[in-house]
Amino acid sequence: MIKYIFSLTIIFSASLCAAQIQGHVIRVLDGDTLEILQDKKPVRVRLANIDAPEKKQPFGRWSATQLKDLVAGKPVTVQYAQTDRYGRILGRVYTADGTEANRWQVRNGAAWVYPDYNNDYTLPPLQRDARALKRGLWADKNPVPPWTWRKQNKK
Options 35, 46, 92, 100, the catalytic residue: 46
| 46 belongs to the catalytic site | yes
Options 35, 44, 88, 150, the catalytic residue: 88
Options 35, 54, 92, 100, the catalytic residue: 54
With residue 38 as reference, give the H or E element that holds it: strand 33-38
| 35 belongs to the catalytic site | no
How far is residue 155's CA from residue 153's CA, in Å, rounded to a whole number?
6
How far is residue 12's CA from residue 133's CA, in Å, rounded to a whole number?
37
Strand partners, 42: 37
| 44 belongs to the catalytic site | no
Classify residue 43 as exposed, middle or buried by CB count within 10 Å of its CB (0-12, 13-18, 19+). middle
- What amino acid positions are annotated as catalytic residues? 46, 54, 88
